[in-house]
Amino acid sequence: MSCTLPGDYQQKMFNKIEGLENAKLIQYGYGVEYDYIDPRELKPSLETKRIDNLFLAGQINGTTGYEEAASQGLIAGINSVRKIKKQEPFIVSRTEAYIGVLIDDLTTQGTSEPYRMFTGRAEYRLSLRSDNADIRLTEKGHQVGVLTDYRYEKFKNFKSVYDDAMNYLGSITHSVAYWKSKIPSLPCEADNPYNTNILDLLRITGVNLKMFDSFLSPKYNFLTDDEKLAERIKIHCVYLAGEKKQNEEMDDIRKNESIQLPVDFDYGKINISFEAREKLFAHKPSSLGAASRIPGITPSAIFQILKYVKKNQSLRMK
């Protein structure tokens, strides 16, 4: 049990539990105190605004968790070296990585409680996947010198093959009826009047590249044998529609930031987390944009508010 009460109180507390009346605590629970600064005192490079050449990372910035600390240490370490070399700071944006989301949240909004990096904090979380991390970050890593030339060349070779394969698969287009006639096991309706390519079909559950083996030219036969590459392509296709919808939602939020929210807005009627609901009731934001800037309010919560307001137009007239 996590507890920071004095030892004798911990002993009494445990002895009150049925079955533990005679238990003896060998090691008392304890807490660790550490220094803390308001992370809004930091630049995106994690250098302090008030003291030049001082970079901070980890719990001192208001975070909790090993990964959160490690990611900040990576960025602070890179930027401290770049500062010595008089180079521009290395900044990762919110759209590129969770590290970017974490640092942007901390340095712009601060935090009133230990910060953890939940996926719900990222506007573009469907794009920030482990399977495409190399495509998102390898180029930037090589530019700042944290990636070896060998690994970078290996990535470039893969990316060339990957892009070529994607272009090729996207070029093979037939009507759904034709695909169904050639591959009866395809889980789609034969009377669908639209033309579609292999990438579109790969979005469907149960469809894989091996099913299109006979449609590939000899140059691309390797695609059905390269399981890792085939999996990468499949995952990309599965997420493609979701990413498009996600981007449309974020654009919708940006266009409607000025929408006014009534002071008596009942956030209890919206499908959002208890934590978000509690913060919204406490802050009573005047607009959608103001709500989005409340620390801890996720993009998904903002979109749920927007959907509710649009559905109930009378709220916008108050």
Q: What is the pLDDT along the chain (318 residues), one digit of tens a residue?
A: 778 899 999 999 999 999 999 999 999 998 888 889 999 999 999 999 999 999 999 999 999 999 999 999 999 999 999 999 999 999 999 889 999 999 999 998 898 889 999 888 888 999 999 999 999 999 999 999 999 999 999 999 999 999 999 999 999 999 999 999 999 999 887 667 788 999 999 999 999 999 999 999 999 999 999 999 999 999 999 999 899 999 898 899 889 989 999 888 899 999 998 888 999 999 999 999 899 888 878 888 999 999 999 888 655 544
Buried b vs exposed e over 263-280: b needs ≥16 C-beta within 10 Å?
A: eebebeebebbeebbebb
Could you tell me which of 281, 308, 280 has the C-alpha nearest to residue 294?
280
Other C-beta atoms closer than 10 Å to the C-beta of 248 total 10
Q: What are phi and psi of 142, to 5 degrees?
A: -70, -35
Helix runs in the chain, H state only: 7-15, 66-84, 98-109, 133-143, 149-171, 176-182, 198-201, 227-255, 274-283, 288-292, 299-311
| 294, 278 contact by CB (below 8 A) | no
Return the structure tokens found at 125. Answer: 């979380």
The number of CA neighbours under 13 Å toward the Cβ of 75 is 28
User: For the CA atoms of 70, 75, 77, 79, what is the dihedral angle to 10 degrees?
Assistant: -170
Q: How many CB atoms lie within 10 A of CB 281?
A: 12
pLDDT at 100: 94
Predicted local confidence at residue 109, as pLDDT = 87
Query: Phi, psi (5° rounding) for residue 156?
Result: -60, -40
